[in-house]
């Protein structure tokens, strides 16, 4: 069985939505925290906790920003192709459910209404003081990740599966190491090249769909879980 695990920010979307939120609603100090994370001084869990505390936005302001987010225009065709072959696609993200749900509804709502897309991410909700971040994964990730992507991959796949990961950034490094093959761009592509991780460069989901069409799928690959 081929199983696809897909990052969200900068992969499904054309831009990093979390960064767009911080750029619009947080002081520039968020970039200092980002540099600490990029340098490996802190994990993404600590990074995001500190950054979300800096965000000062009202619900209608955030809703307006999310309405501006574009999804890779080739993503839907890829989803349809994978569904036609009964191959599962799962989104794994360090991002937030409030954000991901809104963006997918805004851009793919009609199709997703009849074709649910599993999403594993962190929880962001409004309270009396603003935005509150909670984590779906326990704080046991050895890398301090907000959402342990390799952990999700391990829970949802078996040793017999061909695990395909698709991503673009630093938060995808450990998922790439857990995958059979990674489609990589941006900082993730640099990391895969540096570490010798099996990968394919890609520009958008059209590349992944073209790869999928060429695969000699086994009969059991078509089974629906």
166 in any annotated domain: yes
Overall number of domains in the chain: 1
**pLDDT tens digits for the chain (225 residues)?**
999 999 999 999 999 999 999 999 999 999 999 999 999 999 999 999 999 999 999 999 999 999 999 999 999 999 999 999 999 999 999 999 999 999 999 999 999 989 989 999 999 999 988 999 998 766 667 778 889 999 999 999 999 999 999 999 999 999 999 999 999 999 999 999 999 999 999 999 999 999 999 988 654 444 332
**Spatial contact of 60 and 196, defined as CB atoms under 8 Å apart:** no
| Whole-angstrom distance, CA of residue 55 vs CA of residue 30 | 9
| Whole-angstrom distance, CA of residue 182 vs CA of residue 199 | 5
169 in any annotated domain: yes
163 in any annotated domain: yes
The domain in which residue 144 lies consists of: 2-15+71-122+135-222
64 in any annotated domain: no
Of 100, 97, 91, 104, which is closest to residue 167 (Cα–Cα)? 91
92 in any annotated domain: yes
75 in any annotated domain: yes
**CATH code (residue 198):** 3.40.50.1000
Of 100, 30, 13, which is closest to residue 62 (Cα–Cα)? 100
205 in any annotated domain: yes
Q: Dihedral, CA atoms, 123, 17, 171, 146, nearest 10 degrees?
A: -20
40 in any annotated domain: no
């Amino acid at each position: 069985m081929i199983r696809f695990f897909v990052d969200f920010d900068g992969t499904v979307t054309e831009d990093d939505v979390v960064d767009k939120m911080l750029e619009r609603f947080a002081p520039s100090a968020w970039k200092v925290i980002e540099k600490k994370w990029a340098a490996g001084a802190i994990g993404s869990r600590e990074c995001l906790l500190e950054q979300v505390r800096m965000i000062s936005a009202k619900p209608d302001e955030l809703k307006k920003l999310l309405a501006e987010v574009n999804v890779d225009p080739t993503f839907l065709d890829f989803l349809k192709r994978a569904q036609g072959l009964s191959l599962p696609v799962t989104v794994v993200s360090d991002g937030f459910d409030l954000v991901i749900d809104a963006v997918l509804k805004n851009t793919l709502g009609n199709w997703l209404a009849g074709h649910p897309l599993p999403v594993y991410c962190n929880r962001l909700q409004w309270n009396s003081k603003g935005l509150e971040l909670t984590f779906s994964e326990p704080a046991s990730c050895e890398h301090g990740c907000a959402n342990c992507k390799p952990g999700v991959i391990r829970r949802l796949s078996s040793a017999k599966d061909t695990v395909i990961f698709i991503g673009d950034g630093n938060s995808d490094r450990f998922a790439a190491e857990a995958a059979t093959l990674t489609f990589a761009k941006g900082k993730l592509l640099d990391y895969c090249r540096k570490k010798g991780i099996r990968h394919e460069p890609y520009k958008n989901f059209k590349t992944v769909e073209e790869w999928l069409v060429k695969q000699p799928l086994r009969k059991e690959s078509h089974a629906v879980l």
